[in-house]
Structure 1
Amino acid sequence: MPPSNSDAHQFAAQAHAGQVDKGGKPYIRHVNRVAGAANDRAIHAFEVDGLKINPEHVLQAAYLHDVLKDTPTTAEDLVQAGYVPPVIRMVQLLSKKDEELSYAERIGALIQSGNLGAILIKLSDNEDNTWADRQLPVGIGLTACYSASMPRLRDAATALGYTGP
């Protein structure tokens, strides 16, 4: 039996244990906010827009969205934990693979994948990263990158049939 949504949350909590964001807050709080927003979007895409998207898979991938990037976790670890290929694929799409690419180029590659779930997660991630109450002291350049990517991500989601926020 594949892992449940609560298993994905627990996996992420363990993987990110002890990590804090650049504001000094437990990193899992960011993960939880991203997962909540992505879940709402996936449910809208499925129930309102009638799109072929599995909200449960999107929620699991949202919980796991930074485990490959920010922890020693590998894609093989996710396979061994029983995550289904669509969940693992979204997590891989959301993880930096090629340090040679700029942030804008990585967003372009994500959009080119046509993976609505991953696009909705990245949109939720960037919104959380630019949220006024969570302004991270990482410099204006990164916040500007996040802000510039959001219209591109929204346009990509719309092109795939998504009508939500």
Structure 2
Amino acid sequence: MASIFEAHSFAMIAHAGQIDKGGQPYIRHLERVANAAVGRAGHAKSVDRLAIEPMEVMQAAILHDVLEDTPTTPVALRAEGFSAPVITMVQLLTKPNEPMPYEERTARLIARGNLGAILIKMSDTEDNLSPERTLVGGEALRARYATAFTALKAAAASLGYTGT
């Protein structure tokens, strides 16, 4: 099985040259999301006693945009040694090929009931709410992310998660 170091290295290479909305290297967004998600997953495992593996959540978090924003495929992730749960979370977090409103994508993710993916999406949404990442005049985006975060938090709670 691949390690978090291998996941980070894979993401750095796959996203090389990409810049986020705030003008920073895209890997910084992935690192923030992974750090927040592993904190949430660690809480779920230790406090809530939920069946979740924090290191798998962290790997999936650092890789959460790799299928969407690079030519990487699930087969390539498997060939690199990433586990089936990691690949499943990454796939659940990847935008579908057909256009779909953000709210519908979020509802679809919630309906799958994968706590790890939901915690990652919470962390991703939280990072997207950051003033450093939201473009000037992005009130509609902030409202969309805030609504999604509330729905994701409720979904995590319905699966037994008590953290924030």
- TM-score band w.r.t. shorter chain: over 0.9
Instruction: Give 5+ residue unaligned stretches, structure 2.
Output: none
SS at match of 1:161: coil
SS in 1 for 2:132: helix
Q: Secondary structure at the match of 2:135?
A: coil
Instruction: Flag the 1:83–1:125 CA change in 2: closer, same or farther, 3 A.
Output: same
Q: 1:148 to 1:37 in 2, by over 3 A?
A: same
Structure 1 residue ranges (4+ consecutive) displaced by more than 6 angstroms after TM superposition: none
Question: Is the Cα–Cα contact under 8 Å of residues 5 and 59 in structure 1 kept in the other structure?
Answer: yes
Shift of 1:142: 2.6
Q: What is the root-mean-square deviation of aligned Cα atoms in Å?
A: 1.2
SS in 2 for 1:78: helix
User: Secondary structure of the residue that 2:24 maps to in structure 1?
Assistant: coil
Q: Displacement of 1:147 after TM fit? A: 1.4
Structure 2 counterpart of 1:140, which letter?
E
CA–CA distance in 2 between the matches of 1:136 and 1:159?
Answer: 32
Q: Which amino acid in 2 is paired with 1:88?
A: I
Equivalent residue number for residue 23 of structure 1: 22
TM-aligned CA deviation for residue 137 of structure 1:
4.5
Task: Report the TM-score, using the length of structure 2 for normalisation.
Answer: 0.96
Show the 5 A alignment for 1:43-122. 43-122=42-121
Separation (CA, whole Å) in 2 of partners of 1:132 and 1:101: 25
Relative to structure 1, is the Cα distance of residues 51 and 20 closer, same or farther in structure 2, using a 3 angstrom cutoff? same
Moved more, 133-142 or 58-67: 133-142
Q: What is the match of residue 4 of structure 1?
A: 3
Residues 126-165 of structure 1: matches in 2 within 5 Å? 126-137=125-136, 139-165=138-164
C-alpha distance in 1, partners of 2:131/2:143? 13
- SS of residue matched to 1:100: coil
Q: What is the CA-CA distance between 1:135 and the residue it aligns to? A: 2.3
Count of paired positions: 164
